[in-house]
Amino acid sequence: MKYNIHLLLIILVPIFLASCGEKWTCHTKEKTMFSISESGKLGSAEKGCSCEEIRSFELETFGEVDEEGLENDFDC
């Protein structure tokens, strides 16, 4: 039984770690900013967008940048 648990861990840990390292890219569509992973999953802007990309998007879309919101929501 102990051998089976070790074998299971040896198999599952690399799979789990590989999914953690998935790359995300930043995308915009109309007034929405989001991220898409290499495997096609959708995520929030913070996963794949840099602070500069978010700032630029806010300025172009809303005409201003909410610096306090960037700090609170994205740690920018």
- For residue range 45-67, list pLDDT tens digits in order: 999 999 999 999 999 999 999 99
Mean pLDDT of 66-74: 95
With a threshold of 0.75, does the pTM exceed it? Answer: no
Count how many residues are written for the chain: 76
- Look-up of token digits 């953690």: 20
- For residue range 6-51, list pLDDT tens digits in order: 433 454 444 444 456 899 999 999 999 999 999 999 999 999 999 9
What is the pLDDT, as a whole number, of residue 35? 98
* 67-73-76 Cα angle (round to 5): 55
Put the strands of the sheet holding 32-37 in their side by side order.
24-29, 32-37, 42-43
Question: How far apart, in whole angstroms, are the C-alpha atoms of residue 53 and residue 66?
Answer: 13
What is the pLDDT, as a whole number, of residue 21? 86
